[in-house]
């Protein structure tokens, strides 16, 4: 009988070859997928405000340290002279159709008001990696919003659910029967991973009260839903003599509830003597949160500038971007206005990351903590002559502006218009210069990093 066997020398040689192969493979595999090198890291959640490198692996933050070796990363991006922060969080944004019917433009449509929503991924242009839709949809229309926008966006999308079941722009916002607290709460309970709170907006701002439309109907029903679902309420509110702003923030609002549009024209933020209204501090002490919610009609320098000079800065920055709001442009534009008013950048990053994360009860967001999803903004602070506008067609001049140079969402480079992460075309790899024959052939790309 023949015996098949390996000599001791062959076995030893095989082991050596295998070990060498494994070692070489490990040596050739970078420790990190992406390295942002030399930037000034501002991460308020971890009290980091210094020059450091940020490494990413498998879509997660892998390290935030000084002088990480470039050889440890598959892709290295020089961000020296720039700021590296957690991805910004915009808690007032509008996506989808809401209550606007798909045929809103047709004469027979229930409402001829156009949808508010804009494409969610536009937010990436402002360094935003998480946006929160501010009540565009209600219980009847949320599933459409989820399937149409939320499930397909590159940016992370969360939402406040409108207390009006039909949502916004459907012609039913003033119908009190549409404001069903239980239905609202049941919907939030069904989608707890996406729905972070309740929104009430635009209710009965001018018409006389009647049996159906009592002063606090929308607020009271939103609050009831908030209590049932255990979530905060966001208020878009118009005060009237028998429905005052003081009553909203001092009596109706619970700790953790959010007043958005704080610097809108209709609020008594600044008293006749030029001093800030003391009810703001009183409400803040009660735990009420104040949000910018800039929008096309909710930000006036005559309120914002005196308030900021007297030390009142909203807890969170936000855009209220929607189809009628093209002058705001981005989250960084809103932040820039406060920079121009003298608010330090590190404070504004806190109010654009860790603060809103707490407000929507998602503390895992707004941080560069190791192991968390790699949502990152790379920002540049420009100095020169800049001008900013408010919703009353007034201008404020300043000498500073913040722009987003790159936005990374879950480790993917989702926004990089200046090619910060890209190779000069003349030095690109051979594949870049090769024209594909078929559409199924590899494209002419300078690198394969996820984008």
Give the DSSP letter string of 126-160.
GTEEEEEEEEEEETTTHHHHHHHTGGG-SSEEEEE
Going along the chain from its start, the domains and CATH numbers come out as 87-406 (3.20.20.140)
Give residue 161's pLDDT band: very low, low, confident or very high (50, 70, 90).
very high
Contact 142, 432 (CB under 8 A): no
Q: How many Cα atoms within 13 Å fall on the side-chain side of residue 347?
A: 13
Region 57-69 average pLDDT: 98
Q: Is residue 219's pLDDT more than 50?
A: yes
Give me the residue label for tokens 């000079």.
309
Does position 20 have pLDDT exceeding 60, yes or no?
no
Closest to 122 (Cα-Cα) out of 133, 111, 110: 133
> At 272, phi and psi to the nearest 5?
-60, -25
pLDDT beyond 80 at 69: yes
Q: Is the pLDDT of residue 446 over 90?
A: yes
- The predicted-structure confidence for 180-189, as pLDDT tens digits, reads as follows 999 999 999 9
Helix axes 181-190 and 217-229, enclosed angle (nearest 10): 40
Q: State pLDDT tens for residues 369-419.
A: 999 999 999 999 999 999 999 999 999 999 999 999 999 999 999 999 999
Quick one: DSSP state of residue 350? H
Question: Please, which pLDDT band fits residue 9 given cuts at 50, 70 and 90?
Answer: low
**Residue 43 vs residues 47, 49, 197, 372: alpha-carbon distances, Å:** 6, 7, 26, 13
Compute the average pLDDT of residues 20-24: 45
CA 269, CA 150: separation in Å to the nearest integer? 35
CA atoms of 355 and 351, how far apart (whole Å): 5
Residue 5: pLDDT over 50: no
**Token digits for 353?**
């990351």
- pLDDT class of 130 with cuts at 50, 70, 90: very high
Q: ∠ CA(327), CA(360), CA(160), 5° rounding?
A: 65
Mean pLDDT, residues 329-344: 97
HSE of 103, CA atoms in CB hemisphere, 13 A: 5
Looking at the chain, the whole-number percentage of residues with pLDDT higher than 90 is 92
Burial of 244 (C-beta count, 10 Å sphere; 0-12/13-18/19+): middle
pLDDT band with cut points at 50, 70 and 90 for residue 326: confident
| Distances in whole angstroms, Cα of residue 309 to Cα of each of 117, 126, 306, 312 | 34, 26, 5, 7
The CA distances from residue 248 to 259, 302, 350, 363, in Å, are: 9, 22, 26, 27
pLDDT value for 11: 45
pLDDT at 124 over 90: yes
Nearest to 135 by CA among 362, 335, 366, 320: 320
**pLDDT tens, 194-204?**
999 999 999 99
In the 3-class helix/strand/coil scheme, how is 22-42 assigned residue by residue?
Answer: HHHHHHHCCCEEEEEEEEEEE
What pLDDT is recorded for position 23? 44
pLDDT computed for residue 7 by the predictor: 55
Q: Is the pLDDT of residue 234 over 90?
A: yes
- pLDDT, residue 123, reads 98
Work out the percent of the chain whose per-residue pLDDT is above 70: 94
Is residue 93 within 8 Å of 143, Cβ to Cβ? no
Nearest 5 degrees, angle CA 404-CA 407-CA 410?
A: 160
Kindly tell me if the per-residue pLDDT of 97 is higher than 90: yes
Q: In the predicted model, what is the mean pLDDT of residues 424-449?
A: 95
């Amino acid at each position: 009988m023949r015996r098949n066997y390996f000599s001791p020398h062959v076995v030893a040689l095989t082991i050596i070859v295998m070990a060498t192969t494994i070692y070489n493979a490990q040596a050739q595999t970078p420790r990190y997928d992406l390295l942002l090198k030399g930037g000034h890291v501002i991460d308020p959640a971890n009290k980091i405000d210094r020059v450091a490198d940020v490494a990413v692996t498998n879509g997660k933050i892998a390290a935030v340290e000084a002088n990480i070796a470039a050889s440890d990363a598959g892709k290295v991006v020089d961000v020296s002279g720039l700021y590296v922060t957690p991805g910004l969080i915009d808690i007032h944004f509008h996506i989808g159709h809401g209550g606007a019917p798909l045929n809103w433009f047709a004469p027979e449509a229930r409402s001829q008001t156009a949808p508010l929503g804009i494409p969610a991924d536009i937010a990436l242009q402002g360094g935003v990696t998480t946006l929160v839709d501010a009540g565009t949809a209600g219980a009847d229309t949320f599933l459409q919003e989820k399937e149409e926008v939320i499930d397909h966006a590159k940016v992370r999308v969360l939402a406040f659910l409108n207390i009006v079941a039909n949502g916004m722009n459907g012609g039913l916002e003033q119908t009190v029967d549409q404001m069903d607290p239980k239905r609202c709460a049941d919907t939030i309970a069904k989608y707890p991973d996406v729905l972070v709170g309740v929104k009430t907006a635009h209710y009965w701002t001018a018409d006389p009260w009647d049996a159906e439309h009592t002063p606090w109907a929308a607020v009271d029903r939103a609050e009831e839903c908030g209590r049932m679902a255990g979530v905060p309420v966001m208020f878009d509110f118009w005060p009237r003599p028998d429905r005052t702003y003081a009553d909203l923030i001092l009596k109706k609002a619970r700790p953790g509830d959010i007043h958005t549009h704080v610097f809108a024209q209709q609020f008594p933020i600044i008293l006749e003597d030029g001093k800030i209204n003391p009810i703001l501090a009183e409400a803040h002490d009660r735990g009420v949160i104040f949000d910018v919610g800039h929008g096309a009609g909710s930000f006036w320098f005559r309120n914002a500038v005196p308030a900021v000079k007297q030390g009142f800065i909203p807890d969170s920055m936000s855009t209220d971007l929607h189809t009628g709001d093209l002058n705001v442009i981005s989250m960084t534009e809103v932040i820039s206005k406060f920079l121009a008013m003298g608010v330090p950048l590190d404070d504004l990053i806190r109010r654009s990351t860790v603060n809103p994360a707490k407000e929507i009860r998602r503390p895992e967001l707004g941080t560069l903590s190791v192991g968390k999803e790699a949502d990152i903004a790379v920002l540049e602070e420009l100095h020169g002559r800049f001008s900013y506008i408010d919703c009353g067609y007034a201008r404020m001049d300043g000498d500073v502006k913040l722009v987003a140079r790159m936005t990374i969402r879950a480790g993917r480079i989702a926004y990089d218009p200046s090619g910060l992460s890209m190779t000069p075309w003349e030095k690109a790899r051979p594949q870049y210069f090769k024209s594909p024959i078929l559409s199924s052939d590899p494209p002419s790309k300078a690198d394969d990093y996820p984008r």
